[in-house]
Structure 1
Amino acid sequence: MDGSLLYVSRRTSSDAEVRNIVETSLARNARLRVTGALVVSRGRFAQILEGPRTGVDTLMESIRRDPRHADVEVLLYDDIERRRFAEWTLTYSGASVYVDGLIGALTERTTPLPHPGDVHRLTHAIEELARARL
């Protein structure tokens, strides 16, 4: 069974480095049979990865070691029967106050666990942005 993982992180990369992340990810994700959507704002990343758990876990290990990410936090990791993203999709939102606010609500919270409503709003926004880019 496939898994679906949502993580957020603080962006420590330039726009050129983000383009490199995308280019590198296309081949690596295909090799690992992982699909998903990445949202990038000025200061943060949010990404949904879907696929075999071994592939998703391999990617997450790489992301946690990547100096272009800081404060990586997995918010959700569930089994799924069907993927939401048929192919790798990149949605880039460089100056989006809305996306930055959604991610900020999750990364700057004062509770140990994220509020389910905040997770749902971010997941829904990623799905809508990815759908608009297809």
Structure 2
Amino acid sequence: MPRTRERRGGFSELIREQARSSWGGEWLDVDLPAAARLPGPAELAGVIVTGSAAHLTDNEPWMLQGVEWLRELTHAGTPILGICFGHQMLGQALGGRVDRNPRGREMGSVEVRVSAPHPLLPDTRL
């Protein structure tokens, strides 16, 4: 990812690029491991939780705090998009089980097809 990061920026920049036409409001980057305080539902229009090199199965304190935060946001009706590690956190927050892949770590990107337009990412090609 270093070459991609040099060309296009990190996860936050890539997501902002994709969502810029659907969201003109303020963006707040929160680094979960370093966050002293996580914003509450009333402070957020929505949340996008991106990837991480961490393993959710390690149950680090910041991960458990993040899962509880997502659970709170979900109960409050806050829109949430989880990407990679983020969707694992969201799944666990909603009662799912996350475990290590017995075949080892899976990394990379795959092509996905958008079957219908969505207001979060309107510029994504169908």
Larger radius of gyration: 2
> Given the two structures, how large is their TM-score scaled by the length of structure 2?
0.29
> Given the two structures, how large is their TM-score scaled by the length of structure 1?
0.28
Task: Tell me which protein shows more helix as a share of its residues.
Answer: 1
Task: Tell me which protein shows more strand as a share of its residues.
Answer: 1
